[in-house]
Structure 1
Amino acid sequence: MGACAALACAALPVAAATPEEQAVLAPFQALLDGIGKRDHNMMRAALLPGGMITLKRADKISQLHFDAFIDRIPTTGTQQLAERIHDPLIRIDDDIAIIWAPYEFLVDGKVDHCGTDIAHLVKRDGKWLVAGIADNQHATCAGK
């Protein structure tokens, strides 16, 4: 996160072109909002149980089950953390979808790092859920 890599963050709403793309983007946005609010229940509601996150940091790759990732997110803290995705590419085929989106991660309003988030989602009982996430991280970012 990228997918917030054990830090709390929040995302701003991102426009999607169609109602179905908006429905696909909604749980990923809710996950980012939940991280920013340090709300573990909000995060879990957006995720398919048993899913995983893969984080690429420099030459190191780490993988965590969603529960372990959520446990690393502090429920308290004073830093304002936010992850903003933009220009999401969304692809949907029946009950599976992907989101590919560049992001900036901000700490107290300043860009700390950036990269790309990739999320894959599944539709379960008519509701989209994030089934897996991968992200990378760059130290050199526009606006930093």
Structure 2
Amino acid sequence: MPPRGRIGRMTPHPVRSLIPAVVVATLLPTALSLAQTPAEQAILAPIQAMFDGMAKRDAAAIAAPTLPGGTMVLMRDGKAAQMTFTDFAARVGKPGTTKIEERIHDPLVRIDNDLAVVWAPFDFLVDGKVDHCGTDLFNMVRVDGTWKIASVADTGTKTCGGK
């Protein structure tokens, strides 16, 4: 029994001191995904569907979430390359051996009734390595209750942080 009036200095148990870090590491990704409202998630879903189609090199899946007649503008070195979604889907949807993946981060979503805009930084990976990055801008419209990609503009640079 310790002497009266004297409290011994206790060191925290190593496992107990890790509990807060484990809780934060476990819950943070969930909290970030929950930060998007259901309306924002509905707007982001067709964008992810297009990216999934690109990764599968499936032209039909790339075109499915887009508005017929929609266009893309790809800004590279101060020059604008324009194409329709149909042309983009045909180009990217060709079978190939390289793996491609586009990822957006921290999307900013603005909604006004049946119109929305998504602005987000992106990384484009080829065979698991960042090939280029930039900013994606998606104009979205809701047609018959379904969100569609009306147009896309993006910047692209090979100078990416952490590449």
2:73 paired residue number: 54
Larger Rg over CA atoms: 2
Kindly, what percent of the aligned residue pairs are identical?
Answer: 53
1:75 paired residue number: 94
Q: Which of 88, 93, 97 is the aligned partner of 2:116?
A: 97
Give the match's secondary structure for 1:141: coil
Which digits, 9 at most, give the CA deviation of each residue in 1:59-79, with x for residues without a partner?
Answer: 211111111111211421111
CA contact (8 A) 2:58 2:93 kept: no
CA contact (8 A) 2:59 2:93 kept: no
2:25 paired residue number: none
- Give the partner amino acid of 1:103: F
Q: How many residues were matched structurally?
A: 131
Q: Whose strand proportion is higher, 1 or 2?
A: 1
CA distance in 2, matches of 1:68, 1:139: 24
Q: How much has 1:107 moved relative to structure 2?
A: 1.1
What stretches of structure 2 of length at least 5 have no aligned partner? 1-31
Which digits, 9 at most, give the CA deviation of each residue in 1:60-105, with x for residues without a partner?
Answer: 1111111111121142111111111100000100000010010011
Q: Which of 81, 87, 106 is the aligned partner of 1:87?
A: 106
User: TM-score under structure 2 normalisation?
Assistant: 0.77
What stretches of structure 1 of length at least 5 have no aligned partner? 1-13
Q: How much has 1:45 moved relative to structure 2?
A: 1.3
Give the match's secondary structure for 1:111: strand
Which digits, 9 at most, give the CA deviation of each residue in 1:7-50, with x for residues without a partner?
Answer: xxxxxxx9461001000000011011111111111112100000
- Give the partner amino acid of 1:23: A
Alignment of 1:97-136 (within 5 A): 97-136=116-155
1:5 paired residue number: none
